[in-house]
C-alpha cells in the first residue's frame, strides 16, 4: 500500500510528460512544414517590402520607397478601383438573389428540392479557369458571342466586352456571380431551415406579404450567416485573379487589372519582388479593413 | 387561388435559377461539338454538332491532356491524403493532449487562417527556387499540406466525437498514444475525413495561381494550367478550347452529380461551422 502511494505521483508525472511529448510529436510534422512554407514566407514578405530585389541578385534596403512607388503608381489605383467595382457588381447582387432563391427553395411547397439544390450548386464545382473560358466565349467582342447575339436581338449594338471599360468589369462580375450564387444560396438555405416555421405562420395570419416575411423574419434571423457570407465574399473578391487573367489573356489590359494581377505582374513580369511584396502587404491591410468594415456595416443594416 | 399563384411564382424563380446555373454547361458542350466556323458565325450554332471527336483530337495535338489530368490527380490526391493525416493527428493532439504552448500554437493557426495567401506568395516562390523544386510537382504538393482549416476542423470534430473515457480506458490497457490515434480515433472520425477530403481535393484540383507560378514546364502542368494554355494556341479555335475545357470539367461534375448531397453538405457545412 505504501509503495503505491509513493509511486503514484511519480507515475502520474511521467504520464504527464509522456502526454506532452506525444502532443509535441503529433503536431510537429505540421508545424515544421508550416514554419517553412507558411509562417516564414508571411514574415519574410514584410522584410522584402523594404528591399529592392530582382529575385536573383543582391537585395538592397530602400526604406519605404517600394510603398511610395506603389501608392504613386496610377495602375495600382486603377487595379484597386477595378477590384472594388467588380467585387461590388459580382457579390452584392449575388447575395441578394441568393437570399431570394434560398427563400423560394425553403418553401414547403417545393418538390424536387434536392434536384434544384444540385443544379444551383453545380457552378461551384466548376474550376474558375473553366468558368472564365466559357464566359470568355459568351462575352466575346465579336457578334457571334452569345452576349452580343442577345444584345443585337433586342436591337442594340454589340459591346466590345474584352476592351470596353464597363464591358470587362460586367463580364468578370458575371463569372463571379455565376460561380458563387449557388454556394451562397445553399448556405442561406441551411440557415433558413433553422428558423422555426411558426414565425412565418404567425406572420401569414397577420397578413404579412412575402417581402415583409423576408425583411422582418428571414433577414434578422439569418444575420450571423449573412455576415459570414459578406466576410467571405469580401475577402474573395479582393483576391480576384484567375478570371481577369484568363479572360484578358497576357495583354493585362488596364480595364480589368486587379490588385493580385498587379502584384503578380510586378513579381513575375517585371521581376520587381520588392514592389510586389509591398503591394502584397498593402493588399493585406486593405483586406483587413474591408472585411471588418463590411461585416460591421451588414451587422448594422440587418438589425 | 393565391396558393396556386404563389406556387407558379415560386417555380418560375427556381426554374430560371436552375436554367441559368446549368445553361453554361450546355453551351460548353455545344461549342465542344461544333466546328470553329459554325461557332464563329452569326447566329452561332445552338445545338450540339458532330465534331466531338475531331475537337478533342485537336486538343490532344496542342497539349498533353492526359498527362495534365494525371498531374492534377497526383497532386490533388497526394495532398489530400497528406492533409488528412497531418491535420487529424495534430487536431487529435490539440483536442486531447495537454502540453505547454498548445494554446499559443493553436491561436497562431487561427490568425494565419485570416491572412490572404498572396502575402506569402513571393517568399514561397523564392523558397521553391532555392530548393530546386521549380517545375516539380513537389512545389505544389508540399506547401499544399499546410491546411490550418483542416486542423481546426479536425480538432472540433475530435473534441466533440471522441469520448475521453474511451481514451482513458485505452491508456489503462497500455495503448500508446499513436495507437489511441490510429486504432480508436481514426475509425470514429471517418466522416470528418470525408468532408475534409472533398474540400481539399476540390481546392487542389481547381487551384490556379500557385501552380501557374511554380509549374511552368509543360510536362508538369496541372489540367487548369493546361486548358488555359489552349487559349494561346496559334489559331484560336473555340471548338478545340471548349472541348478541352469540357473534358477537364466532366470528371468532377460527374462525381458531384453522383454524390451531390454529400458534396453540398461537406462544402457548405465545413464553411458554416467554422
**Interatomic CA distance for residues A27 and B93, integer angstroms:** 7
ipTM of predicted complex: 0.91
Contact: A40, B205; criterion CB under 8 Å: no
Which of A32-41, A56-65, A178-187 comes out lowest in average pLDDT? A56-65
**Interatomic CA distance for residues A157 and A186, integer angstroms:** 37
Contact: B227, A105; criterion CB under 8 Å: no
Task: State which residue of chain A sits closest to B177, comparing Cα positions.
Answer: A22
What integer pLDDT is reported at residue A6 of this predicted model? 47
Residues of B in contact with A264 (CB under 8 A): 209, 213
Distance of CA A144 to the CA centre of its chain: 32
Nearest-neighbour CA in chain B from A288: distance (Å): 9
Assess if residue B210 is contained within a domain: yes
Residue A289 pLDDT greater than 60, yes or no: yes
**Interatomic CA distance for residues B105 and B149, integer angstroms:** 14
Assess if residue B52 is contained within a domain: no
Contact: A117, B260; criterion CB under 8 Å: yes
Task: State which residue of chain B sits closest to A210, comparing Cα positions.
Answer: B6
Residue A210 pLDDT greater than 70, yes or no: yes
Choose among A91, A93, A117: nearest CA to A104.
Answer: A117
Average pLDDT over residues B6-17: 88
Task: State which residue of chain A sits closest to B171, comparing Cα positions.
Answer: A15
Assess if residue B263 is contained within a domain: no
- CATH number at B95 reads 1.10.3720.10
Contact: A101, B17; criterion CB under 8 Å: yes
Question: Pick the residue with more confidence: A179 or B112?
Answer: A179
Residue B271 binned pLDDT confidence (cut-offs 50, 70, 90):
low
Residues of B in contact with A104 (CB under 8 A): 10, 13-14, 17
Q: Per-residue pLDDT tens for B120-167?
A: 999 999 999 999 999 999 999 999 999 999 999 999 999 999 998 888
Task: State which residue of chain A sits closest to B267, comparing Cα positions.
Answer: A183
Residue A5 binned pLDDT confidence (cut-offs 50, 70, 90):
very low
**Interatomic CA distance for residues A132 and B190, integer angstroms:** 35
Q: Which of B7, B21, B125 to mutate to test the interface with A (most CBs of A within 10 A)?
A: B21
Assess if residue B216 is contained within a domain: yes
What integer pLDDT is reported at residue A66 of this predicted model? 93
Choose among B247, B208, B255: nearest CA to B31.
Answer: B247
Residue A127 pLDDT greater than 50, yes or no: yes
Q: Would an 8 Å CB–CB cutoff place A261 in contact with chain B?
A: no
Pairs of residues, one from chain A and one from chain B, whose beta carbons lie less than 8 Å apart? 271
Task: State which residue of chain B sits closest to A121, comparing Cα positions.
Answer: B264
Assess if residue B50 is contained within a domain: no
DSSP annotation of B13: H
Average pLDDT over residues A267-281: 92
What integer pLDDT is reported at residue A169 of this predicted model? 94
Residue A251 binned pLDDT confidence (cut-offs 50, 70, 90):
low
Residues 6+ apart with CB under 8 A from A35: none
Residues of B in contact with A40 (CB under 8 A): 123, 127
Which of residues 215 through 244 in chain A touch B, CB cutoff 8 A?
225, 228, 232, 235, 238-239, 241-242
User: Bridge partners of A51?
Assistant: A61
Average pLDDT over residues A270-274: 91
**pTM for the structure as a whole:** 0.90
Average pLDDT over residues A167-194: 92
Residue B40 binned pLDDT confidence (cut-offs 50, 70, 90):
confident
Q: Which of B109, B177, B260 sits opposite A118 (nearest CB)?
A: B260
Assess if residue B82 is contained within a domain: yes
3-state helix/strand/coil string of chain A: CHHHHHHHHHHHHHHHHHHHHHHHHHHHHHHHHHHHHHHHHHHHHHHHCCEECCCCCCCEECCCHHHHHHHHCHHHHHHHHHHHHHHHHHHHHHHHHHHHHHHHHHCCCCCCHHHHHHHHHHHHHCCHHHHHHHHHHHCCCCCCCHHHHHHHHCCCCCCCCCCCHHHHHHHHHHHHHHHHHHHHHHHHHHHHCCCCHHHHHHHHHCCCCHHHHHHHHHHHHHHHHHHHHHHHHHHHHHCCCHHHHHHHHHHCCCCCCCHHHHHHHHHHCCCCHHHHHHHHHHHHHHHHHHHHHHHHHHHHHCC
**Interatomic CA distance for residues A186 and B272, integer angstroms:** 11
Residues of A in contact with B209 (CB under 8 A): 241-242, 260, 264
DSSP annotation of B181: I
Residues of B in contact with A130 (CB under 8 A): 28, 227, 245, 248-249
Q: Would an 8 Å CB–CB cutoff place A103 in contact with chain B?
A: no
What integer pLDDT is reported at residue A3 of this predicted model? 44
Which of residues 137 through 196 in chain A touch B, CB cutoff 8 A?
137-138, 142-144, 146, 149, 178, 181-183, 185-187, 190-191
Residue A76 binned pLDDT confidence (cut-offs 50, 70, 90):
very high
Assess if residue B185 is contained within a domain: yes
Task: Write out the residue range of the structural domain in which residue B154 sits.
Answer: 63-229
Assess if residue B24 is contained within a domain: no
Using omega within 30 degrees of 0 as the cis cutoff, is the peptide bond preceding B43 cis?
A: yes
Residues of A in contact with B84 (CB under 8 A): none
**Interatomic CA distance for residues A59 and A5, integer angstroms:** 64
Say how many CA atoms lie within 13 Å of A97 toward its Cβ.
Answer: 20
Q: Per-residue pLDDT tens for B184-205?
A: 999 999 999 998 999 999 999 9
Contact: B228, A38; criterion CB under 8 Å: no
Q: Which range has the top average pLDDT, A42-56, A84-98, B223-237?
A: A84-98
Query: Would you tell me the crossing angle of helices B52-62 and B238-258 to the nearest 10 degrees?
Result: 100
Choose among A86, A41, A70: nearest CA to A266.
Answer: A70
What integer pLDDT is reported at residue A279 of this predicted model? 94
Residue A8 pLDDT greater than 60, yes or no: no
Contact: A283, B116; criterion CB under 8 Å: yes
Domain count, chain B: 1
Amino acid at each position: 500500500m505504501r509503495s503505491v502511494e509513493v509511486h503514484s505521483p511519480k507515475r502520474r508525472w511521467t504520464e504527464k510528460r509522456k502526454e506532452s511529448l506525444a502532443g509535441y510529436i503529433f503536431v510537429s510534422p505540421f508545424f515544421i512544414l508550416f514554419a517553412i512554407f507558411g509562417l516564414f514566407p508571411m514574415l519574410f514578405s514584410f522584410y522584402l517590402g523594404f528591399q529592392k530585389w530582382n529575385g536573383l541578385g543582391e537585395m538592397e534596403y530602400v526604406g519605404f520607397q517600394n510603398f511610395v512607388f506603389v501608392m504613386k503608381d496610377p495602375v495600382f489605383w486603377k487595379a484597386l478601383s477595378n477590384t472594388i467595382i467588380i467585387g461590388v457588381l459580382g457579390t452584392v447582387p449575388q447575395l441578394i438573389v441568393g437570399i431570394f432563391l434560398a427563400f423560394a427553395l425553403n418553401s414547403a411547397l417545393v418538390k424536387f428540392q434536392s434536384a434544384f439544390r444540385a443544379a444551383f450548386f453545380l457552378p461551384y464545382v466548376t474550376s474558375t479557369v473553366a468558368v472564365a473560358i466559357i464566359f470568355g466565349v459568351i462575352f466575346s467582342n465579336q457578334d457571334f458571342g452569345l452576349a452580343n447575339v442577345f444584345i443585337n436581338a433586342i436591337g442594340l449594338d454589340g459591346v466590345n466586352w474584352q476592351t470596353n471599360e464597363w464591358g470587362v468589369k460586367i463580364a468578370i462580375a458575371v463569372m463571379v456571380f455565376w460561380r458563387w450564387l449557388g454556394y451562397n444560396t445553399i448556405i442561406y438555405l441551411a440557415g433558413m431551415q433553422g428558423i422555426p416555421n411558426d414565425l412565418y405562420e404567425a406572420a401569414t395570419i397577420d397578413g404579412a406579404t412575402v417581402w415583409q416575411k423576408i425583411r422582418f423574419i428571414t433577414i434578422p434571423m439569418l444575420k450571423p450567416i449573412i455576415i459570414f457570407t459578406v466576410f467571405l465574399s469580401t475577402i474573395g473578391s479582393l483576391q480576384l485573379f484567375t478570371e481577369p487573367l484568363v479572360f484578358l489573356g497576357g495583354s493585362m489590359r488596364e480595364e480589368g487589372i486587379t490588385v493580385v494581377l498587379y502584384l503578380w505582374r510586378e513579381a513575375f513580369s517585371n521581376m520587381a519582388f520588392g514592389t510586389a511584396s509591398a503591394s502584397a502587404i498593402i493588399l493585406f491591410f486593405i483586406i483587413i479593413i474591408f472585411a471588418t468594415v463590411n461585416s460591421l456595416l451588414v451587422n448594422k443594416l440587418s438589425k | 387561388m393565391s396558393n396556386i399563384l404563389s406556387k407558379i411564382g415560386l417555380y418560375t424563380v427556381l426554374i430560371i435559377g436552375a436554367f441559368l446555373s446549368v445553361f453554361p454547361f450546355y453551351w460548353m458542350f455545344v461549342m465542344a461539338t461544333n466546328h470553329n466556323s459554325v461557332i464563329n458565325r452569326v447566329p452561332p450554332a445552338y445545338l450540339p454538332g458532330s465534331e466531338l471527336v475531331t475537337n478533342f483530337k485537336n486538343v490532344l495535338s496542342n497539349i498533353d491532356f492526359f498527362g495534365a489530368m494525371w498531374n492534377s490527380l497526383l497532386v490533388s490526391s497526394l495532398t489530400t491524403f497528406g492533409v488528412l493525416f497531418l491535420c487529424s493527428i495534430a487536431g487529435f493532439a490539440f483536442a486531447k493532449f495537454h502540453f505547454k504552448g498548445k494554446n499559443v500554437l493553436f491561436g497562431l493557426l487561427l490568425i494565419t487562417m485570416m491572412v490572404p495567401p498572396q502575402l506569402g506568395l513571393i517568399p514561397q516562390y523564392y523558397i521553391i527556387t532555392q530548393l530546386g523544386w521549380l517545375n516539380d510537382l513537389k512545389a505544389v504538393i508540399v506547401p499544399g499540406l499546410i491546411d490550418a482549416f483542416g486542423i481546426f476542423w479536425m480538432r472540433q470534430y475530435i473534441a466533440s466525437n471522441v469520448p475521453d473515457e474511451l481514451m482513458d480506458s485505452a491508456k489503462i490497457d497500455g495503448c500508446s498514444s499513436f495507437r489511441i490515434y490510429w486504432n480508436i480515433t481514426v475509425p470514429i472520425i471517418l466522416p470528418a475525413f470525408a468532408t475534409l477530403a472533398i474540400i481539399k481535393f476540390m481546392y487542389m484540383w481547381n487551384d490556379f495561381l500557385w501552380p501557374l507560378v511554380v509549374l511552368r514546364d509543360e510536362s508538369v502542368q496541372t489540367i487548369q494550367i493546361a486548358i488555359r494554355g489552349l487559349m494561346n494556341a496559334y489559331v484560336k479555335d473555340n471548338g478545340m478550347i471548349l472541348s478541352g475545357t469540357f473534358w477537364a470539367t466532366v470528371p468532377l461534375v460527374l462525381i458531384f452529380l453522383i454524390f451531390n448531397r454529400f458534396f453540398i453538405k461537406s462544402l457548405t457545412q465545413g464553411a458554416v461551422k467554422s
